[in-house]
Structure 1
Amino acid sequence: MPSGQQARAQAAAITPGTHGSEAEAEQAPPVDQVRALFGGHRLSPGQRRIAQFLIDHLTEAAFLSITELAERVGVSQPSVTRFASSLGFSGYPALRDALQPIALSAIAGSPEGREARRRNELQAAVDAEIENLASLRRSLASTDQILDIGRELARSAPLTVLGLRISASLAEYFAYAARRIHPDVRVVTRGGSVAYDALLQSREAGGTWVLAFAMPRHSKETLAAMKAARGAGLRIALITDLALGPLVHEADVSFTAGTGSRLVFDSYSAPGVLSAAILQAMADADPERTQVRLEKYEQASDQYDFFLED
């Protein structure tokens, strides 16, 4: 684990190739140096609260004791210790040692500049999501895999959509839209024996595929449900932010879409677009059925006056 001196060197390394006063002139802003300490680490929502507090109150927070920091953020002292360990530090004192010289440089800087950077935190989160979408765009340069899975999901009757915990919202969105073009879509948003029963019933009814969503933090329940689906004889298509790991290993085919992690809770622009692309592939796989079902839905929505007039 890094010492305070090693961590300071890590933060300074984001502006390589400079020396002496030239290095000081071109050194990254203190807030960016702090973010460099957090970068590349998957933090829980509670840990992101600690990280955001350190960013927003750097000049004060870097000199707080672990008790004071825990009280200010509203978390337990063990949570602060686990946060420091998740960043690769031996404990909170080592993290504080890394933060203090950055805080001192911030004290010497412009308060107006610090406030402007803090206000731009939301823009930085949007920029990160744009990069996730750009990465997804590159991965879709070939559409063969999307078209293939669209055909398979369209043929599976019933089609089961699995999403537990935070992934439930994505599963509900997909299932809601898929029901417009598919005759039998079943959504599973509860784990344990409830998920097993639903998956078994789907297979017994003739289903062949499950579309599973697995977003951070990845739950053991999701892995268990995927194993249950495979044990029941169902094949699995997975949408996740992971390229490797036990969830991907359990799937027959997987699609990767990054999640935004700059805010307290993740955002899901890329997984949402990927879901819509698969829905499009399903619609195109059986255009006649799609057209008939969409027309019937429009007739029903007019008859029962579902929507407000634009």
Structure 2
Amino acid sequence: MNDEKKDLIKIIKQNFPKLSKGQKLIAQFIMDNYDKAAFMTASRLGEKVGVSESTVVRFASALGFDGYPKLQKSLQELIKTKLTTVQRVEMSRDYSNDWAVLNKILKSDIENIRNTLDEINPKSFENVIDDIVSAKRIYIVGLRSSTAITEYLGFYLNLILDNVIVVSYGISDVFEQIIKIDEEDLVIGISFPRYSKKTYEVLEFAKKQGAKVVSLTDSQLSPIATLSDNTLIAKSNMASFVDSLVAPLSLINALIVALGMREKDKIKRYFDKLEHVWKEYHIYDDKE
């Protein structure tokens, strides 16, 4: 079974009649509380509904999953798009105190970076660098919560290259900003749950114009990944009402540095000039 491509709730409903009594208790709990169940261990889930851990494991198998971790992963993929902000706030109430928040969030971000490193495709990373170097123009689009890292990527790419355009909400519509895009151009799309529909539409338009599309997102199943020639995956799992953009930002840092290494001489000349400007106009506090 391709676990991540199926809606878990639909799978549960289809299999519900043939489940055992204990398994039906698990199924009903998940359907009613999928936001909570997604982060429960098999033992904790069994305890919550009054069945054994082994019953939970057999329940996963009955649905066609190769173990409970696979089922849990499918459930976590499901809630990325189904959870409302209100539900995310409710999940955050499980944090007992300020230290618990700090501990949980930092550990979650560490795990996201670790999983990103484990799953990143080195060839895709290299291909994206090649795409950036060879493009006539580079458009970067990432709206809603992705705006922050979109602007960050645009800022540093503009220090290295002369052909970077950051697409954002402003005086002109986003489509007006990319109307000149063609087959020699590259568009970099950035989108994380809850995925921005407008970002998808911009990339879809660019694709129709023949432009090459690169995406930075959290899964090969994300909407913009289906449009992309190359996709970079950065994990952003977070049991909270805020989006975790630590791993995506770390991946962007790697992208910027790798690109900079290909343009070392150009960057050195550029920054030598900038240093004189910064010093002359007192851009930074250089008190000794």
The TM-score normalised by the length of structure 1 is 0.64
Hey, what's the Cα distance between the residues in 1 that align with 2:161 and 2:235? 27
Identity of aligned residues (%): 20
3-state SS, counterpart of residue 178 of structure 2: helix
3-state SS, counterpart of residue 239 of structure 1: strand
Partner of 2:135: 156
Q: Is the CA contact 1:157–1:185 (under 8 Å) kept in the aligned structure 2?
A: no
Hey, what's the Cα distance between the residues in 2 that align with 1:304 and 1:196? 37
Partner of 1:145: 124
The runs of 4+ residues in structure 1 deviating greater than 6 Å are 9-12
When residues 156 and 291 of structure 1 are mapped into structure 2, their CA distance, relative to the original with a 3 A threshold, is farther
Hey, what's the Cα distance between the residues in 1 that align with 2:44 and 2:223? 36
Hey, what's the Cα distance between the residues in 1 that align with 2:156 and 2:45? 49
Partner of 1:48: 88
One-letter amino acid of the structure 2 residue matched with residue 289 of structure 1: K
Hey, what's the Cα distance between the residues in 1 that align with 2:221 and 2:139? 23
Is 1:181 the counterpart of 2:160 in the alignment? yes
Partner of 2:103: 123
Partner of 1:62: none
Q: Report the Cα offset of residue 158 of structure 1.
A: 2.6
What is the aligned residue count?
Answer: 230
Q: Report the Cα offset of residue 49 of structure 1.
A: 1.5
Gaps of 5+ in 1: 25-35, 57-114
Partner of 2:283: 306
One-letter amino acid of the structure 2 residue matched with residue 13 of structure 1: A
Q: Report the Cα offset of residue 259 of structure 1.
A: 1.0
Q: Report the Cα offset of residue 299 of structure 1.
A: 2.3
When residues 15 and 260 of structure 1 are mapped into structure 2, their CA distance, relative to the original with a 3 A threshold, is closer
Hey, what's the Cα distance between the residues in 2 that align with 1:280 and 1:122? 29
Gaps of 5+ in 2: 1-12, 17-22, 31-36, 54-71
- Please give the per-residue CA displacement for 1:44-89, whole angstroms capped at 9, x wherever unaligned: 3221112334x36xxxxxxxxxxxxxxxxxxxxxxxxxxxxxxxxx
3-state SS, counterpart of residue 306 of structure 1: coil
Partner of 1:68: none
1:72-221, aligned counterparts within 5 Å?
115=96, 119-140=99-120, 143-190=122-169, 194-203=173-182, 208-221=185-198
One-letter amino acid of the structure 1 residue matched with residue 265 of structure 2: E
The TM-score normalised by the length of structure 2 is 0.69
Q: Report the Cα offset of residue 291 of structure 1.
A: 2.1
Q: Is the CA contact 1:260–1:268 (under 8 Å) kept in the aligned structure 2?
A: no
One-letter amino acid of the structure 2 residue matched with residue 293 of structure 1: Y
Partner of 1:239: 216
When residues 201 and 122 of structure 1 are mapped into structure 2, their CA distance, relative to the original with a 3 A threshold, is same
Is 1:283 the counterpart of 2:263 in the alignment? no
Partner of 2:273: 296
One-letter amino acid of the structure 2 residue matched with residue 173 of structure 1: Y
3-state SS, counterpart of residue 160 of structure 1: strand
Partner of 2:203: 226
Q: Is the CA contact 1:151–1:285 (under 8 Å) kept in the aligned structure 2?
A: no
- Please give the per-residue CA displacement for 1:81-104, whole angstroms capped at 9, x wherever unaligned: xxxxxxxxxxxxxxxxxxxxxxxx
When residues 297 and 202 of structure 1 are mapped into structure 2, their CA distance, relative to the original with a 3 A threshold, is farther
3-state SS, counterpart of residue 14 of structure 1: helix
Q: Is the CA contact 1:239–1:256 (under 8 Å) kept in the aligned structure 2?
A: yes
Hey, what's the Cα distance between the residues in 2 that align with 1:125 and 1:135? 15
Hey, what's the Cα distance between the residues in 2 that align with 1:177 and 1:128? 27
When residues 51 and 182 of structure 1 are mapped into structure 2, their CA distance, relative to the original with a 3 A threshold, is same
Hey, what's the Cα distance between the residues in 2 that align with 1:294 and 1:283? 12
Hey, what's the Cα distance between the residues in 1 that align with 2:176 and 2:45? 56
